[in-house]
Amino acid sequence: MTLWLGDGNSRLPGYATHQLGVAGAVLDNSTGKVLVVQDKNKTINAWKFPGGLSDPGEDIGDTAVREVFEETGIKSEFKSILSIRQQHRHPGAFGKSDMYIICRLEPSSFNISFCQQECLRCEWMDLDELAKTKDATPITSSVAKLLLYGYREGFDKIDITMKEFSAVYTGQVYKLYHRELPESYKDMGGL
């Protein structure tokens, strides 16, 4: 119809090509334990990080915090992005490609009250154990090893952090995610 109404060359943008899933790797730095769930609906008996789909207009960190709370009852704070996975022809993506982002979160509560409609189990698991277990999804296993490296050697080696900037559009802001710069580069060019 847009071609018929116009000059034959539609200028309307294409439909969205990806859905965005976000999970939270909630690590208690004082104990070395990480929050994991066993999903009731998909990967039964495989440990994974709690998460779900981002709502329209919702920031990545906010999605991770919300999904962790909805699934586990744990309150947390966004710290960084740990990983990004892109997958095409994902069977649960409604014909779209799928982006899946895992964020590092810090807990502000510790008593689990998990959603029994979504989860079979939920627990604080030792990070070493999660990194070694065969009972985790492949992405959970990989990110657990990355998280263990950051826990032992410093999160500055793994974190993709966020900074908020004023956009060129009046009253708008945007969030830029990147590895942290050394101090000698931060004052160069406005960063």
- What is the residue whose two structure tokens read 């969205």? 16
**Active site (catalytic) residues:** 70
Q: If you average pLDDT over residues 109-124, what whole number do you get?
A: 95
pLDDT tens track for 171-182: 999 999 998 888
Rounded-to-integer distance, Cα 36 and Cα 58, Å: 23
CB 48 within 8 A of CB 140: yes
pLDDT tens track for 5-43: 556 666 655 667 888 999 999 999 999 999 999 988 766
Check pLDDT > 80 for residue 102.
Answer: yes
Q: Structural domain boundaries of the chain?
A: 18-157, 161-190
95's torsion region: left (phi>0), alpha (psi -120 to 50) or beta? left
Q: If you average pLDDT over residues 31-57, what whole number do you get?
A: 90
Q: Which helix (H) or strand (E) holds 185?
A: helix 183-186
What's the half-sphere exposure (Cβ side, CA atoms, 13 Å) at 18?
Answer: 12
CATH 3.90.79.10 holds for 18-157 = yes
Q: What is the mean pLDDT of the chain?
A: 89
